[in-house]
Amino acid sequence: MISADPPGDEMTNILSRLPVEALMQLRSVCKSWCNLIRDPHFVNMHMNQHSSYKESGYLIGKDIILDFAEIEECKDTTLDVAEIKECCTLYSDETFAEHKKMEFPLWESTKSFQIIGCCNGVLFLVYPLTPRSCCKMYFCNPATKIIKNLSNSPVQLPDVRVHVAFGFGWVPWLDEYKVVRILYSEQMNLIDPPKHPPVVEIYSLKTDSWTKIEIELSYFIISHTAEAFLDGCAYWVARKVINKNDFVVFFNMADHVFEEIKLPSCLGDGALTGSNGEVVFESIEGHLSLYDPRNQQFQDLHFQENPYIIELFAYKESLVLLDLGTEYWPSEFHDDGNEELESQTQESRNLRR
């Protein structure tokens, strides 16, 4: 029987090198190991250790699957009658071969949920993404199967159709995960001044609360999601309300300040995401290519298992959110947005004291 004494430095170092799946199983060895593995300092140690392991990286793709069997059973053989299903797949970021399908608790209940961003193995999920401001928001760690339901915002908005822009990321010097949400009246990009000015809110995981930022914006962020997150800042492409000129705007998650950058003339349309300096480009035809700026070489990404990839993110497994400890995959999700969370007490099961 393994001693319940806290693991020493040598054992802690060994454990920090193990993959997430193994560590999740080792929590049942004894209470001291369980406490260590969920400790925030160990979580960061494990994340830093594995950030240098190139082989541990993946690309996570949100795919659509067209169920052509449905077409064959119908008299109308147009594509419109096909059943569209969504799934998530992990691909190796070296060979781009499929690694495994990922399970999410939201797949079965709704097709409208969206992956807003991915940071340190945590996905920021939103559903439904509608022209109204009301939506459910979650932090989700697929490796540990822990999901965090973000608290509701206290901001009361008029009952109007809105455009929502999100940014999600980690501020390393604060060791804090944050979300910025910007809500626009859909008429803002048409009239100046707008009848309903934009609302900017910040969510902090440390406090599980929202803070409204008092700021005036004279531009309209085009995309729902940030194009990039770097050094505590979320970046988008925005458009001036008056002259319709496009430019880059970024928001500092620590200082809560917006700044503008001139749009590079070489920037074209296309979805892109990066990892270790490499950038994924989407061509006009929808093909994905990987560009390495160090050698200026392009490499085609052949996702032959399913060509209908609609979202792509750099992903590495981590233990982040494990210290929250009580919210696991929901046992049942309902279409009205209410959920029953499967609550478990980690230490009380299968622990040898």
Task: Give residue 310's pLDDT band: very low, low, confident or very high (50, 70, 90).
Answer: low
Task: Give the residue with greater pLDDT, 134 vs 33.
Answer: 33
d(CA 315, CA 48) in angstroms, rounded, equals: 14
* pLDDT value of position 60: 67
What is the mean pLDDT of the segment spanning 254-274?
69
Q: CA 298, 302, 305: angle at the middle one, nearest 5?
A: 165
Extract the tokens encoding 113: 């949920």
Please choose, from the candidates 99, 98, 96, the residue with its C-alpha nearest in 3D space to the C-alpha of residue 302. 96
Task: Give the 3-state secondary structure of residue 238.
Answer: strand
Question: Under a CB-based contact definition with an 8 Å cutoff, are residues 219 and 238 in contact?
Answer: yes
* pLDDT value of position 212: 93
Q: What is the pTM of this model?
A: 0.75
* pLDDT value of position 167: 93
Angle at which helix 9-16 crosses helix 40-51, to 10 degrees, equals: 50
Backbone angles phi, psi at 198, to 5 degrees: -65, 150
What is the mean pLDDT of the segment spanning 160-175?
87
Asked whether residue 118 carries a pLDDT value surpassing 80, the answer given is yes
- Segment 33-70, tens digit of pLDDT: 888 998 989 998 998 888 766 655 677 666 655 444 44
What is the mean pLDDT of the segment spanning 105-125?
73
* pLDDT value of position 266: 54
Task: Give residue 285's pLDDT band: very low, low, confident or very high (50, 70, 90).
Answer: low
* pLDDT value of position 149: 87
Task: Give the 3-state secondary structure of residue 320.
Answer: coil
Average pLDDT, the chain: 72
* pLDDT value of position 297: 76
* pLDDT value of position 207: 92
Task: Give the 3-state secondary structure of residue 316.
Answer: strand
* pLDDT value of position 170: 92
Place of tokens 């097709």: 111
- Segment 119-129, tens digit of pLDDT: 898 989 887 65
* pLDDT value of position 187: 62
* pLDDT value of position 208: 92
